[in-house]
């Protein structure tokens, strides 16, 4: 396979940085989930219909009675499917389905434009143009995240995440005059969160609403390499965390009552999870409400983390004590519970994980419930499932030559990916 990430056009390689390497370790198979870890790992319980005792006041996502994953992963998808180009943009960073309309997508361009794709055509005029306020001088900066409000059809509200001209993170709210409008007014911006960034990389940038109705904001550890200021494990810093806020109450937001530091004692109240290096795309399973987080590794290991919908807030995913399942630096203090990834792969298989989506579409029923994720450098795309016995299985489903910067899902659950190098937006379909 052609190693296209070596081409000069790729200065990006999201969060792919050089640093002092940890002690070398033996590598497990890159296509199977690890079965053990050097320290105790929280057991991932089977999907249960009972809500967590710390559940929020919002209604939980109904849990399925049937097993939500297939029992095996298909082996011949490369023969029976295709990733078909549907649009061409410039340096795509995110693909978001329009609520209730599977024929409309929002596609972000790093320079600061949100493009509208509708019924097979890419609109000439941007849906939202923020190029006057988005800073993208560094490869991992730019317009990075977009999320529609759960009640978008009624209120026309959506949110974006971008780095400003000084390189700092901005999460902002916008409102359409009419929810069905094709162009948004940049002057409706209201900034709801501002986070200073000490370096030009590891900005995270993704946004997603969870089944609890709260907005989840992924932030990297601030950049450089090796988390030099130990921000990911510092509960008084927002960097290196997954934040969760209530955008429907408070000014500019309220704190969910079960956030681990909701009372402001011991940490920032916005924090929902700790110990992330650079969460480059995460996704909620629309059926189970479970969360998958792809966290970009330092220089040896890429990882995918999983958190069930009925598990309590406050997981610590281990960075920078661990890179994947391998010690990186320092020793965790006694009594600290770390959550290890359900799958990892070494840099012999790629260099920078790109989190994907749980397939819940109709075109490929054999993929129902499979979490798809890829690698920016190698173009490989894996499928990940959990068996009824609790074992995680992952295998390569497609070998591509795409520089996979993001995945996306439309209102029908069909899955898309973006090639950062060519700008192509591709949809997964049965081969004709």
Question: Which has the minimum average pLDDT: 55-64, 139-148, 384-393?
Answer: 55-64
pLDDT tens for each residue of 341-394: 999 999 999 999 999 999 999 999 999 999 999 999 999 999 999 999 999 999
Cα(249)–Cα(47) distance, integer angstroms: 31
**What are the start-end ranges of the H helices in 282-354?**
none
Dihedral angle of Cα 339, 341, 342, 347, to the nearest 10 degrees: -170
Q: Is the dihedral of CA 213, 66, 414, 73 positive or negative?
A: positive
105 vs 4, residue with greater confidence: 105
pLDDT at 12 over 70: no
Q: Is the dihedral of CA 275, 345, 210, 204 positive or negative?
A: positive
- Structural domains of the chain sorted by starting position, each given as residue range(s) with its CATH number in brackets: 4-16+57-430 (2.120.10.30)
Q: Residue 259 has what pLDDT?
A: 98
pLDDT tens for each residue of 82-106: 999 999 999 999 999 999 999 999 9
pLDDT tens for each residue of 300-325: 999 999 999 999 999 999 999 999 99
pLDDT at 18 over 70: no
Report, as an integer, the average pLDDT of 11-36.
38
pLDDT at 46 over 50: no
pTM for the whole structure: 0.87
pLDDT at 42 over 90: no
Report, as an integer, the average pLDDT of 54-65.
39
Q: Residue 189 has what pLDDT?
A: 98
Query: Taking a C-beta distance cutoff of 8 angstroms, is the pair 353, 373 a contact?
Result: yes
The H or E element spanning position 426 is strand 424-430
Assign 23 a pLDDT band (cuts: 50, 70, 90).
Answer: very low
Q: Residue 280 has what pLDDT?
A: 97
Query: Taking a C-beta distance cutoff of 8 angstroms, is the pair 278, 221 a contact?
Result: yes
- Largest Cα separation within the chain, whole Å, is 58
Assign 179 a pLDDT band (cuts: 50, 70, 90).
Answer: confident
Q: How far apart, in Å, are the Cα atoms of 427 and each of 106, 116, 287, 304, 407?
A: 14, 15, 21, 23, 10
Q: Residue 406 has what pLDDT?
A: 98
Q: Residue 65 has what pLDDT?
A: 55
Q: With pLDDT > 70 as the criterion, what percentage of the chain qualifies?
A: 85
pLDDT at 62 over 90: no
Query: Taking a C-beta distance cutoff of 8 angstroms, is the pair 323, 317 a contact?
Result: no
Question: Which has the minimum average pLDDT: 135-139, 233-237, 271-275, 350-354?
Answer: 135-139
pLDDT at 418 over 70: yes
Report, as an integer, the average pLDDT of 18-38.
35
Query: Taking a C-beta distance cutoff of 8 angstroms, is the pair 415, 372 a contact?
Result: yes
Report, as an integer, the average pLDDT of 115-134.
98
Q: Residue 41 has what pLDDT?
A: 32
């Amino acid at each position: 396979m052609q190693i296209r990430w070596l081409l000069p056009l790729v200065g990006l390689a999201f969060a792919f940085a050089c640093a002092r390497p940890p002690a070398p370790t033996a590598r497990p198979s890159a296509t199977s989930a690890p079965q053990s870890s050097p320290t105790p790992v929280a057991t991932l319980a089977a999907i249960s219909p009972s809500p967590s005792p710390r559940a929020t006041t919002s209604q939980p996502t109904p849990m399925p009675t049937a097993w939500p994953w297939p029992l095996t992963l298909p082996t011949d998808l490369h023969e029976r499917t295709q990733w078909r180009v549907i649009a061409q943009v410039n340096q795509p960073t995110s693909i978001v389905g329009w609520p209730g309309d599977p024929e409309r997508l929002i596609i972000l361009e790093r320079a600061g434009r949100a493009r509208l794709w509708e019924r097979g055509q890419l609109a000439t005029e941007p849906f939202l143009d923020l190029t006057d306020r988005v800073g993208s001088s560094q490869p991992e900066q730019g317009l990075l995240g977009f999320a529609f409000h759960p009640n978008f059809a009624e209120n026309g509200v959506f949110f974006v995440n971008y780095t400003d001209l000084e390189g700092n993170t901005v999460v902002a709210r916008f409102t359409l005059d009419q929810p069905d409008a094709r162009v948004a007014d940049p002057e409706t911006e209201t900034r709801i969160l501002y986070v200073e960034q000490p370096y030009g990389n590891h900005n995270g940038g993704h946004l997603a609403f969870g089944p609890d109705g709260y907005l989840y904001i992924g932030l990297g550890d601030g950049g450089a390499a090796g988390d030099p200021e130990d921000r990911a494990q510092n509960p008084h810093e927002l960097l290196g965390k997954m934040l969760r806020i209530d955008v429907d109450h408070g000014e500019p937001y309220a704190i969910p009552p079960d956030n681990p530091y909701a009372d402001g004692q011991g940490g920032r109240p916005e924090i929902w999870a700790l110990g992330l290096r650079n969460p480059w795309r995460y996704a909620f399973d629309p059926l189970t409400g479970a969360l998958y987080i792809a966290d970009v590794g330092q220089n040896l290991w890429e990882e995918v983390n999983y958190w069930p919908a009925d598990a309590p807030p406050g997981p610590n995913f281990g960075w920078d004590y661990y890179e994947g399942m391998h010690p990186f630096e320092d020793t965790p203090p006694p009594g600290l519970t770390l959550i290890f990834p359900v799958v990892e792969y070494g840099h012999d298989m790629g260099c920078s994980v790109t989190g994907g989506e749980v397939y819940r579409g109709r075109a490929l029923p054999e993929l129902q419930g499979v979490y798809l994720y890829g690698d920016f450098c190698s173009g490989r795309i894996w499928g990940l499932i959990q068996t009824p016995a609790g074992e995680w299985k992952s295998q390569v489903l497609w070998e591509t030559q795409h520089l996979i910067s993001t995945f996306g899902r439309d209102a029908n659950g069909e899955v898309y990916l973006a090639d950062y190098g060519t700008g192509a937006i591709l949809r997964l379909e049965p081969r004709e």
